[in-house]
Chain A
Amino acid sequence: MGKLIIPIVIGLCAFAWRIYESMDMGRTIYNHRPGVCRQVHGPVKGSEDIEVIRSEGIAFVTSGLIYLQPTRAHVEGKMFLYDFNQKLGTGQLKAKELPIKGSNFDQNNFHPHGLSHWVVNGVIRLYVINHDDDFKHSIEVFDYDPSGPSLIHKKSLKHPSFIRPNNIVAVGADQLIITNDGVAQTEIGNFFEILSGYKGGTVYFWDGKESHQILSGMGAPNGIAYDIKTNKLFISEVNYRRIHAYDLAKDKKSVTLLSTVNLYSACDNLFLDSDGSVYSGCHSVLIETAKSIGDCDGEATSPSQVLRIKFDSEYKIASVSEPYSNDGKEVSGSSIAALYNNQMLIGTVCKGLLHCEVTHPSVL
C-alpha cells in the first residue's frame, strides 16, 4: 500500500501542476499600448472576429456570439461595419450596425462567430460561421451592399462536417477552409474534452459543394488565416498555445507543414497584415478567460493580449512581439486584432471593441 501511495501523490502533484500551468494561474499581465486607445461605440456584445477589406479601408465585425451556451439565446447576433477613415480625435469612434436583408434569413437564430470574405464578380462576399439558438451550426453567406450600407443574405450552408466550427478562411469563390475547435456541444462536454486532453479538433476544406478533411486530431484549432500572395495557411491551435504555418496544395485539399511557433498564450483568431506578418488576439490568462466568457452578461473581465508573428522568408522561424497587453480593465477577452493604416482594432469574445492608434511602426 505504501508503495502505491507515493506514485499516487506524485501523480496528483503532477496533475495539479499541469492544471496550474494550463490555466495560467501564476501569470502576471503588464499593461502596455501602441498608442492612444479608445472604446468603439456599437458592438457592446463583443466583436469576436474582424475582417478587413484593405482596398476599402473598412472592416466587418461579428457580434453577439453564443458558444456552448444555448441559455444565452437572448443575445442578439449582429454584424457591424467599422470605417478606418473616420476622423480620430475627441469624438466617439463608431461601428455601424449593418441591417441584413433576405427573406430566408432568420435573424433570431443568428449568432455569428468567425468570418472571411472573397470578392465575387466585384462584390464583397462574406462567409460567416453561425450558431443558432440551439447551437446548431451553419455558414451564412452575405453580399455587401455599400449603398445602404447593408448585407444581402445569399444562402445558408449546412453540413455534417461543421461539427463545432470556430473560424473560416476563404481561399476562392465559395471555397472555404473551416476549423472545428472540438466535438462536444455542451460546456461540460467541452470541459472534459480539455481536461482529458482529447484532440477532437479538425480542419475541413469546403469546395463549394462538399467537405474534405485536411487535418484531424488537433488540440482545438481556432483562428485561421490565408495569405493569397504566398499561398500560406496559418492555424492557431489554442489548447497547445501554438500556431502552425502550412503550404496549401493546388487542389486545396491538403496542406504541408512548414513550421510551428510556440506562443505560450491561448491565441484565438488570426489576422494577416499586408507585410505578411500574422496577428492574433490572445487569452493570456485562461482561468480568467473561462470565467469572463462564461459570464458574458456579468462584470467579470479577463486579460487581453495582441501578438505579432513575423516569419522569415522560408516560414521556418518567426519573431514574436506583443504590441498590446492589458489586464482586462480596458478591453476584456481579446479574440482578434486587425491593423490598417497605423490603426489597430482589438475585438473581444463578448465585451466591446477597442481602437488603438499605432504611434510608430517600431511599437509593433
Chain B
Amino acid sequence: MGKILVAVTIALCAFAWKMYESLDLRKTVYNHRPGICRQVHGPVKGSEDIELIRSEGIAFITSGILYLQPYRGDIVEGKMFLYDFNQKLGKDQLKAKELPIKGASFDQNNFHPHGLTHWVVNGVIRLYVINHSDGFKHSVEVFDYDPSGPALIHKKSIKHASFIRPNDLAAIGPDQFIFTNDGVTQSEMGNLAEILSGYKGGSVYYWDGEDSQVIFSAMAAPNGIAYDVKNNKLFISEINYRRVHAYTVEKDKKTLTHLSTVDLGTACDNLFVDSDGSVSSGCHPVLHEAAKSIGDCESDVTSPSQVIRIKFDKDYKTAAISEPYANDGKEVSGSSAVAFHNNQMLVGTVCKGLLHCEIPDPAVL
C-alpha cells in the first residue's frame, strides 16, 4: 500500500509539474518594442490572421473570430479589413479599412473568419479564408479582391468532411491549399480534455481544388502554416509542443519532406514568411493567461503578446531565433499573427485590436 501511495504521490507531483510548465505559470514577459508602436483603428474584435500582398503594399486582415464558442455568434460580427502600408505615419490615427463583401450567395451572419491566404489567379488577388459559422460549422470562403471599391467579391464556399477544425491555410497554387486542423473536438470542454490528455488530434490536409488528401495526422494542434513560394518550403507551427516544422513540398503537393524542427519554447500561432525567407510568428508566451483572455474576448482581460522571428540556414537544418517584440498584454493582447513590410510591423490578435510598429533599424529584428 505504501509503495502505491508513493507512486501515486510522485505521479501527482509530475502531473502538477507538467501542468505548471505547459501553462507557463512561471513565465515572465519583459516588454520591448522594435520602435514606436500604435493601435490601428478598425479591427476592434481582433485581427487573428494577416495576409500581406507585398507587390501592392497592402494586407488583408480577418476579424471577429468565433472559436469553440457558438454562443458568441450573435454578438460578434465577422469582418475583413484592408491595411495600407503606404499610409502616412505620424500623429494621425492609423486605419484599417473594412472591406464590404459582395455576393448573393454569401451569408454575412454566419461569417467568422480565422486563417487566410492568397494566390494571384489570372491577375486577380484571390483570398481563401477559413470560416466558422454561428453553429461552429467550417468552410473555406473564396473571395476575389476588387481594388476599385475596394471590396471583396464572394466566389464560392468550400465545404468538406476534412475541414474538421480548420485553423489556418496556405495557398500553393490556384484553388490549391494546405490547411491545418488544430484538433477534433468541437467544444471548449472537449478541447480542454484534448489538451489535458495530450491527445494528438491535429491533422494537415491538401486541398487539390476538388478533394482533400491527408498529409499528416496525429499532430498536437498544428496551427499556423506558411508557404515560401521562392524556396518551395512549407512551415507548420505545432502549438501544443511549442515548435515549428520546416518541410519541402514535393511535386505532387501531397507529400512533404521534413527538413527540421525548431523548438521555440512558446506557443506560436500564425506564421508569416518574410522576403528574406525568415519565418515570423505571433505567439502566446503565457498560455494560461491566453486561455483566460481568448475565452473572454468581450472583457478587459488581457494576455501577453510576443513576436518570434526564425531565420533558417540555407539547408533549413538549423535556425537562429530572435524576439522583435514582447509585451505583457497592456499594449496588445493575445498576439496571433505578424506581418512585416517596408520597415513596418503589424501585430494581429485573436480578438483584441491590431498593433502597428515602426522598425527604425533592421538590427532590432
* Residues in A lying within 8 Å of B, measured CB to CB: 1-2, 5-6, 9-10, 13, 17, 21, 26, 28, 30-37, 264-265, 305, 307, 319-323, 325, 357, 359-360, 362-363
Contacts and interface: CB of A to CB of B under 8 A. Distances in A.
Contact of B2 (A2, A30, A320): A2
A360 B321 CA distance: 22
B2 A32 contact: no
Interface of B: 1-2, 5-6, 9-10, 13, 17, 21, 26, 28, 30-37, 264-266, 306, 308, 320-324, 326, 358, 360-361, 363-364
B216 to A, nearest CB: 25
A363 B34 CA distance: 5
Nearest to B8: A6
A323 B17 CA distance: 31
B2 A1 contact: yes
Contacts of A319: 31
A9 B6 contact: yes
Contact of B35 (A5, A26, A362): A362
B9 A363 contact: no
B34 A6 contact: no
Contacts, number: 90
A86 to B, nearest CB: 19
A275 B326 CA distance: 23
A362 B357 CA distance: 10
B30 A320 contact: yes
A32 B6 contact: no
A220 to B, nearest CB: 19
Nearest to B324: A32
Given A35-B361, A36-B363, A321-B32, A28 B6 contact: no
Contact of B17 (A17, A34, A36): A17
A34 B1 CA distance: 59
A305 B29 CA distance: 13
Contact of A322 (B13, B17, B326, B361): B326
A305 B323 CA distance: 13
Nearest to A323: B32
Contact of B321 (A5, A13, A30, A363): A30
B308 A5 contact: no
Given A33-B364, A37-B363, 13 more contacts: A6-B6, A6-B9, A9-B9, A10-B9, A21-B26, A30-B308, A36-B363, A264-B28, A265-B28, A320-B30, A320-B31, A360-B36, A362-B36
Contact of B322 (A5, A10, A32, A359): A32
Nearest to B28: A264
Contacts of B10: 9, 13
A28 B361 contact: no
A359 B326 CA distance: 17
Nearest to B266: A28
Contact of A2 (B1, B265, B321): B1
A5 B2 CA distance: 8
A35 B364 contact: yes
Given A6-B5, A6-B6, A321 B31 contact: yes
B360 A360 contact: yes
Given A36-B363, A360-B35, A360-B36, A13 B13 contact: yes
Given A28-B266, A31-B321, A2 B5 contact: yes
Contact of B37 (A1, A21, A34, A362): A362
Given A37-B363, A325-B30, A359 B5 contact: no
Given A2-B2, A325-B30, A31 B322 contact: yes
Contacts of B324: 32
Contact of B361 (A6, A13, A36, A305): A36
A323 B324 CA distance: 11
8 contacts: A1-B2, A13-B10, A31-B323, A32-B32, A33-B364, A322-B30, A322-B31, A360-B360
Contacts of A13: 9-10, 13
B39 to A, nearest CB: 15
B94 to A, nearest CB: 15
A316 B363 CA distance: 35
Contacts of B33: 362-363
Given A2-B1, A9-B9, A321 B30 contact: yes
Contact of B323 (A21, A32, A36): A32
A267 to B, nearest CB: 12
B6 A5 contact: yes
A13 B16 CA distance: 10
A359 B31 contact: no
A154 to B, nearest CB: 41
B88 to A, nearest CB: 18
B32 A359 contact: no
Nearest to B323: A30
